[in-house]
Amino acid sequence: DIVMTQSPDSLAVSLGERATIKCKSSQSVLYSSNNQNYLAWYQQKPGQPPKLLIYWASTRESGVPDRFSGSGSGTDFTLTISSLQAEDVAVYYCQQYYGTPQTFGRGTKVEIK
């Protein structure tokens, strides 16, 4: 199985400041034939199902604010919230869909400082 390791487990950021979440895969999730990274990011707020934010490591889902961005390739990825808003308080998960079983990171809890 591909293990997804997220860091940190939690972080507290002031409103309007940048939040950065890391995700590292135990093997590359870059598919050479199409040069795509098989990685997605989700946001989960308490009592709600996850919401898709980013796929192909850096493509923002329709309707997702542009303060959310994804970057990275191969085994190292980053989700950045450029200017944290109160409504961004949530747990964020990365997911690889390169191999079966698909796997999620353990999550990063983002709070307001």
Q: Which residues bind other proteins (CB under 8 A)?
A: 1, 38, 40, 42, 44, 49-52, 55, 61, 91, 93, 95, 97, 100-107
Tokens of 25: 């895969």
The amino acid occupying position 10 is S
As measured in angstroms, the least distance from the Cβ of 14 to other proteins is 26
Nearer CB in complex with other proteins: 15/54: 54
Cβ-Cβ contacts under 8 Å for 2 (sequence gap 6 or more): 25, 26, 27, 29, 96, 98, 99, 103
CB of 70 to other proteins, least distance (A): 12
- The least CB distance from residue 50 to other proteins, in Å, is 6
Confirm if 109 and 91 have CB atoms less than 8 A apart: yes
Q: Which is nearer to other proteins, 55 or 68 (CB)?
A: 55
C-alpha span between 7 and 39 (Å, rounded): 16
